[in-house]
Structure 1
Amino acid sequence: MFFGSDNTGPAHPQIMQALAEANTGYATPYGADPLMEEVRTRLREIFEAPEAAVYLVATGTAANCLGLATLCPPTHTVFCSPNAHIHVDECNAPEFYTGGAKLTLVGQEDKITPEALHDAIEGEEVRGVHGPQRGPVSLTQATEFGQTYSVAEVAALCSVARDYGLPVQMDGARFANALVTANCTPAEMTWRAGVDVLSFGGTKNGCMGVEAVVLFDPAKAWEFELRRKRGAQLFSKHRYLSAQMAAYLRDDLWLSNARSANANMARLAEGLRQVPGARFAYEPAVNIAFVTLPRAVLQRLKAEGAVFNVWTGNLDKGDPEEPLLTRFVTDWSLPEAEIDRFLSLLTT
């Protein structure tokens, strides 16, 4: 009963098969392998962006930070949510990769509003040479709390950024999960709404370890290539990254996995709604739910082998009836029987 994170599950068998098939003979290194050309062509088709520059890296942190570094000089600041992964979970890697650019937090929630973004941007460049200059806006889709931006919301935020001449980067570690919820096209969710650079996630959705960076403005390509090399993300045996992403994109496996993960959460959420005392912090939109449950209930679940993350409070000490905010995440591979077993423990 693993609900800790979608990066705890296995890689999809088709990904593993692709890696095994790639592990024969010889292939040109550093991204010049034939599989990479397949990946590049397919992502351009998916995003209806024939000129887009496409690159692969091994981690989401590298994808986000190299993309941002391509857009953000060290004298500038990145505007992001206070709950954004680049702020709370990347150990100052954005500052490191950009050479010192700071982060300016926008609003109080995981979703940024146009009004809050406007105010945050207005708050910078007020000290001339003494303060940070306005830099890119970073959006997380889906957010760390499992919410999603609609196409209209993305477009509205990009419009504010454009009013100030600022580019927009999208952290899409769970882009596939958000896309199937939004029921729109990848192009509509990204460049048509105004996004300049996308981190296209694979690791959390069935890959072993690969993320794509899609630069919709190919003029930024050489800058990214230099930063990727300098940032130690240009793989020599690149075909093993290419093989994963190629298999991930074939026959829309990326969408199929996301639908499965989201469906697993829908099943879990339906059952949790029947539990006395359960309260959702947000309506689950993708494969993440934040739910408050009594400490005693969570302790019993843990004792039965359930894996989850208590977000606020101490699971081991305190009033048994105190509600604790807890995160549950489902992945593509989670068996329905495990979800049902978990829910049965809540009602016994």
Structure 2
Amino acid sequence: MNFASDNVYGIHPKILAAIEAANQGTTPSYGYDDYSKRAEDKLSEVFEKEVRAFLVTTGTAANGLALSALTPSYGAVFTHNEAHSAIDECNSPEMFTGGAKIIGLEGVEGKLTPPIIEKVLKGFLRGEHDPKPAALSITNSTELGRVYKPDEIKALSTVAKSRKMKFHTDGARFANAVAALGVKPADITWKAGIDVMSFGGTKNGGMLLEAVVFFDTALAEDFLYRRMRGGQLISKSRFLGTQMLAYLEGGLWLDNARIANGLAQRLAKGLLQSNRIRIPLPVEANEIFAVMPLALHDKLLAAGAHFHQWGLDILGRDGIAEDEVFCRFVLSFATPEADVDRFLSLVKQG
């Protein structure tokens, strides 16, 4: 009963089989293999636009390298204060950008809104004494499992573009957002004003499966050098390309996300049937945030369940008693349905 993260599960069998197939024979290295080229073409097909796509091994590298293409070393990147680029990636974005300032903003249930961005931008009045506002970065789906709708992204883009800022999406769980919204990938990326995104697959069935995808291809002009300098140009690059091809082929990436999202809905429905557990945030993707008694939390862990207590500062402490805890559950395409049912049975037993 492991709901600690979607990272705890393994590689989808189709992706693993693709890696095995690519292991036969020889092929050019350092990104010049046919797999990597076809992966870029496939991403263009998925997004209904010619893109430049660069495969990397981690979401941290994808975010840092993407932001480095959007902001100078004296720039500022605005993001949610719980975003991975703000608090979960050490100071990797600052390193890749050469010192740009990552400014975390308090949002609404994990989301940024135009008034939040407009308010902070009003404070940048001192010219060169302030870092130059250079980029806005959102996470979709967010760290609180919420999803940005097309109109919400367009509204943020209007604010960013009015200040000539670039717009980035951290898409570590992008598939879950697309599946939750039932929209086309283009609708919440370039059509809504996104310039570049970190396209994640590791949490959704990949082994090492991330890409930096440029919708504004002019921004990718020197990215080959950025990727190389950042240690992310893989010599046996075919093993990244073949993963991406298998991930996208036949819509596997969305099928996996739909399974994970569906299991999250199933678990959330069961939790709500207990009068001892509250779910204060909408469950939109594959994450659930719940408030439960500490005694029940301890019993569930003792019974073999795995999930995390989460920081109360994200939600606010109002309404959470001293004998309660705020917890996060993450569902994967590979989470056994039997584990969900067993966990709900334990909750019911109290």
TM-score scaled by length of structure 2? 0.95
**Does structure 1 retain, via aligned residues, the 8 Å contact 2:174–2:200?**
yes
Deviation track 1:14-63 (CA, whole Å, cap 9, x = no partner) reads 0110010011111111111111122111110110112x111100000011
The corresponding residue for 1:219 is 218
The corresponding residue for 2:234 is 235
The corresponding residue for 1:153 is 152
Deviation track 1:147-202 (CA, whole Å, cap 9, x = no partner) reads 01111001100111011111100000000000111111111110010000011110
Paired letter, 2:194: V
Deviation at residue 3 of structure 1 after TM alignment: 0.2
**Does structure 2 retain, via aligned residues, the 8 Å contact 1:198–1:215?**
yes
Q: How does 1:184-199 map to 2 (within 5 A)?
A: 184-199=183-198
- Output the CA distance in 1 between the equivalents of 2:145 and 2:61: 22
**Does structure 1 retain, via aligned residues, the 8 Å contact 2:86–2:103?**
no
- Output the CA distance in 1 between the equivalents of 2:281 and 2:92: 29
Deviation track 1:226-252 (CA, whole Å, cap 9, x = no partner) reads 111110000011011111111001111
Unpaired runs of at least 5, structure 2: 313-320
* More moved, 33-42 vs 144-153: 33-42
Paired letter, 2:85: I
Deviation at residue 108 of structure 1 after TM alignment: 3.7
**Does structure 1 retain, via aligned residues, the 8 Å contact 2:53–2:214?**
yes
The corresponding residue for 1:330 is 331
Paired letter, 1:272: L
* More moved, 94-103 vs 276-285: 276-285
The corresponding residue for 2:256 is 257
Q: How does 1:33-72 map to 2 (within 5 A)?
A: 33-50=33-50, 52-72=51-71
- Output the CA distance in 2 between the equivalents of 1:123 and 1:235: 42
Paired letter, 1:142: S
The corresponding residue for 2:180 is 181
Paired letter, 1:7: N
The corresponding residue for 2:30 is 30
Gap change, CA 1:321 and 1:77, over 3 Å in 2: closer
**Does structure 2 retain, via aligned residues, the 8 Å contact 1:107–1:117?**
no
SS of 1:279's equivalent? coil
Q: How does 1:67-146 map to 2 (within 5 A)?
A: 67-109=66-108, 110-124=110-124, 126-146=125-145
**Does structure 2 retain, via aligned residues, the 8 Å contact 1:281–1:290?**
yes
The corresponding residue for 1:297 is 296
- Output the CA distance in 2 between the equivalents of 1:293 and 1:231: 43
SS of 1:7's equivalent? helix
* More moved, 61-70 vs 271-280: 271-280
Deviation at residue 321 of structure 1 after TM alignment: 7.4
Deviation at residue 212 of structure 1 after TM alignment: 1.2
Deviation track 1:261-282 (CA, whole Å, cap 9, x = no partner) reads 0011011001000112211131
Deviation at residue 208 of structure 1 after TM alignment: 0.7
SS of 2:86's equivalent? helix
The corresponding residue for 1:5 is 5
**Does structure 2 retain, via aligned residues, the 8 Å contact 1:296–1:321?**
no
- Output the CA distance in 2 between the equivalents of 1:267 and 1:172: 24
SS of 1:282's equivalent? coil
SS of 1:71's equivalent? coil
Count of residue correspondences: 341
Identical positions, percent: 45
**Does structure 1 retain, via aligned residues, the 8 Å contact 2:168–2:194?**
yes
SS of 2:243's equivalent? helix
**Does structure 2 retain, via aligned residues, the 8 Å contact 1:290–1:328?**
yes
Unpaired runs of at least 5, structure 1: 314-319
TM-score scaled by length of structure 1? 0.96
The corresponding residue for 1:208 is 207
The corresponding residue for 2:16 is 16
The corresponding residue for 1:340 is 341
Paired letter, 1:179: V
Paired letter, 1:323: E
- Output the CA distance in 2 between the equivalents of 1:275 and 1:225: 53
- Output the CA distance in 2 between the equivalents of 1:329 and 1:61: 19
Query: Which 4+ runs in 1 deviate beyond 6 A?
Result: none
Paired letter, 2:175: A
Deviation at residue 107 of structure 1 after TM alignment: 3.1
**Does structure 2 retain, via aligned residues, the 8 Å contact 1:312–1:324?**
no
The corresponding residue for 1:317 is none
Paired letter, 1:261: A
Paired letter, 1:163: S
